[in-house]
């Protein structure tokens, strides 16, 4: 009889601990996005940035397809997608497209070293305040907004993307074909 009580108590303990673990996993997962309104078709939030020492605005790129990528050097998926973003820049620049990276790095040396080490072939801007990402609703990196020629958000991609993947390449090509 004592064995049965111990078995029930152990089973109850396992169930309670399993429930606690499940709750922790649930709260740790990024499904805070459930119910998030789609940004599709909304105007991209304009912002000022400095590229090559020159102050400009995102709106200055209107007429181009912009692949706006929020990233950081300390983010492994961001590091992994960097080469394919550089290749994307090479493919879309002649057709009126551009990749625009917005780094969340606070450490300027790490940022500059990364750009050199990975031969980043697209314009990047370092936003140490992280306000820009917050205004876009970005909380995890990488996160990318594809902005059409009229300055509207055409697509939002959460997480790492292989920009050489045929489906995404066709999608971007389709946007570039629209005038």
pLDDT confidence of residue 39: 78
What is the chain's pLDDT, residue by residue, as a tens digit (179 residues)? 567 787 788 888 878 777 777 666 555 544 444 455 677 789 999 999 988 889 999 999 999 999 999 999 999 999 999 999 999 999 999 999 999 999 999 999 999 999 999 999 999 999 988 899 989 988 889 999 999 999 999 999 999 999 999 999 899 999 999 87
Helices (H) and strands (E) in the chain, counts: 5, 7
* 174 touches 73 (CB < 8 A): no
pLDDT confidence of residue 28: 52
Extract the tokens encoding 90.
Answer: 């090479």
Start-end of H helices in the chain: 2-28, 76-92, 108-117, 131-136, 166-177
Secondary-structure breakdown of the chain: helix, strand, coil percentages, each rounded to the nearest 5? 45, 20, 35
pLDDT confidence of residue 52: 84
| Domain range list for the chain | 41-177
pLDDT confidence of residue 15: 81
pLDDT confidence of residue 31: 42
pLDDT confidence of residue 5: 80
- Class of the CATH domain delimited by 41-177: alpha beta
Tokens 């997608």 appear where?
A: 81
pLDDT confidence of residue 4: 77
């Amino acid at each position: 009889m004592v064995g049965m009580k111990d078995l029930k108590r152990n089973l109850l303990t396992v169930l309670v601990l399993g429930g606690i673990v499940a709750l922790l996993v649930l709260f740790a997962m990024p499904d805070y996005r459930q119910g998030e309104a789609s940004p599709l078709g909304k105007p991209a939030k304009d912002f000022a940035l400095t590229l090559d020492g020159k102050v400009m605005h995102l709106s200055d790129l209107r007429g181009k397809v912009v692949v706006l990528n929020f990233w950081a050097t300390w983010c492994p998926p961001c590091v992994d997608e960097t080469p394919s973003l550089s290749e994307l820049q090479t493919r879309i620049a002649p057709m009126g497209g551009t990749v625009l990276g917005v780094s969340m790095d606070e450490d300027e040396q790490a940022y500059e070293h990364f750009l050199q080490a990975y031969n980043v072939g697209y314009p990047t801007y370092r936003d140490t305040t992280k306000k820009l990402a917050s205004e876009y609703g970005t909380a995890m990196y990488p996160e990318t907004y594809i902005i059409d020629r009229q300055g509207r958000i055409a697509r939002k991609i959460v997480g790492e993307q292989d920009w050489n993947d045929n489906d995404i390449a066709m999608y971007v090509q389709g946007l570039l074909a629209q005038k």
